[in-house]
Amino acid sequence: MEGPELLRLWVLAAPVTFRAHLWERPDLPRWLRLAQRGPGQPGFLYGCPLPPELGTHRLQVLAYNRRTFATASQRLVIGVTPAPGGEAPFQAEFLVGNRDVEELLPEAAREMFLEAAAGLWDRGDLHVINVTSALDRGGRVPLPIEGRKEGVYVQVGSHSPFSPCLVAAVSPQSRSRCHQGQRPLASCYDTFAPHFSIRWCNLTLLQVGPSPSTPGPEWGPGVLDEGGGFEPPSEVAPRELLPSFLVTLLVPLAVAALLCLLLGHLMCCRREGVEKRDLQTSDIQLVHHSSILGDTRELRLMAGRRDVPRPLSTLPMFNVRTGQRSDPMASARQGARAPLLPP
């Protein structure tokens, strides 16, 4: 993994759009990206694999001609192997403000950037580790004005220590000047000019140590020896499940019976009774209560007798002299024409 994996998908004069995904899967690996500015522009597959991504990755690239509506498919196999010299211990990440990601992916542009960055180290054993768009790091989309670019993060590694210029650019004094809107304390501004505009306030220096080796699996006692046969365990003796069944069934029943007895005692045996209640009630309340009960009983007896003539107040209106009656449910006009008393 000495440098970023890069595959250029050349486009002819026809407007072609590329789509890529893992073989028989919908997405790309998490370390691989596809960049294509427009249908008439070339497409790039780029990314920086990590140690867990070592191995072979099978991709499928689909090309769609937007003029003739023709499609083509190609299968790609990418092999990721460790770098021969190991990972670079000294790494620097620059933010190039005047470039887009597809402008730094071609080999010629990367070589030009390495030549400009070679002046920052004592030796020229530099190589590009990763190229990432600033939009993938949370950057904003630039305004549609000529000359505005998205910005690209370029990570460069070397086995030589950092130069004094890089160390001064990330010092606390330089960081404080950046927060105040001033230029940091660095004497190597003209190294990348005029092709690359470096934002020195976003410079990051990393010192990577050797990655610890992953211990291999340890064989336990359950692994069969070479040439040994599998011997199944002997039959298990039958267990007596009756005690467990009785405990599981009888204990909840006993608890439920005790709760029922306690509830019955509270509801039936703890009642006060009528005599105790009468003894605790005053005589005036008892007399008043008994009188109410007697009057209620008498009214019920009177209501049961239907042979008693109805009182006159409940009958229709009548004339005392002539005995003529008029229906009170008649209309108001008819009632007004029927006089109650003779003229």
Same domain, 76 and 162: no
Q: Is the pLDDT of residue 3 over 60?
A: no
The answer to the question of residue 138 being in a domain is yes
The answer to the question of residue 144 being in a domain is yes
| pLDDT tens per residue across span 196-231 | 888 888 888 888 776 555 565 665 665 556 656 667
The answer to the question of residue 302 being in a domain is no
The answer to the question of residue 62 being in a domain is yes
Same domain, 150 and 118: yes
More confident residue, 17 or 188: 17
More confident residue, 199 or 125: 199
Same domain, 96 and 193: yes
The answer to the question of residue 303 being in a domain is no
Same domain, 70 and 105: no
pLDDT of residue 254: 95
Same domain, 56 and 154: no
What is the pLDDT of the chain when averaged over all its residues? Answer: 78
| pLDDT tens per residue across span 13-55 | 678 889 999 988 888 888 888 888 888 788 888 888 887 888 8
Residue 194's pLDDT band, with cuts at 50, 70 and 90, is confident
Tell me the mean pLDDT in the region 85-97: 85
Q: Is the pLDDT of residue 141 over 70?
A: yes
| Domain final position from 141, 175, 207 | 207
How many domains does the structure of the chain reveal?
2
pLDDT of residue 287: 84
Q: What is the pTM of this model?
A: 0.55
Same domain, 22 and 107: no
C-alpha torsion 102→136→177→96, nearest 10: 0
Q: Is the pLDDT of residue 143 over 60?
A: yes
- Residue 234 exposure: Cα atoms within 13 Å on the Cβ side: 2
Same domain, 12 and 49: yes
Tell me the mean pLDDT in the region 323-340: 52
Least confident of 16-20, 132-136, 213-217, 302-306: 213-217
More confident residue, 323 or 33: 33
Q: Is the pLDDT of residue 338 over 80?
A: no
Q: Calculate what percentage of the chain has a pLDDT beyond 90.
A: 8
Same domain, 95 and 197: yes
Tell me the mean pLDDT in the region 101-105: 87
Which CATH number characterizes residue 157's domain? 3.30.70
Same domain, 103 and 183: yes
Q: Is the pLDDT of residue 324 over 70?
A: no
Same domain, 123 and 201: yes
Same domain, 73 and 96: no
Tell me the mean pLDDT in the region 139-159: 85
The answer to the question of residue 15 being in a domain is yes
| Domain final position from 60, 80, 100 | 80
The answer to the question of residue 328 being in a domain is no
Task: Write out the residue range of the structural domain in which residue 32 sits.
Answer: 5-80
Same domain, 203 and 94: yes
Nearest to 61 by CA among 31, 21, 3, 114: 21
Which CATH number characterizes residue 40's domain? 2.60.40
| Domain final position from 58, 80, 102 | 80
The answer to the question of residue 111 being in a domain is yes
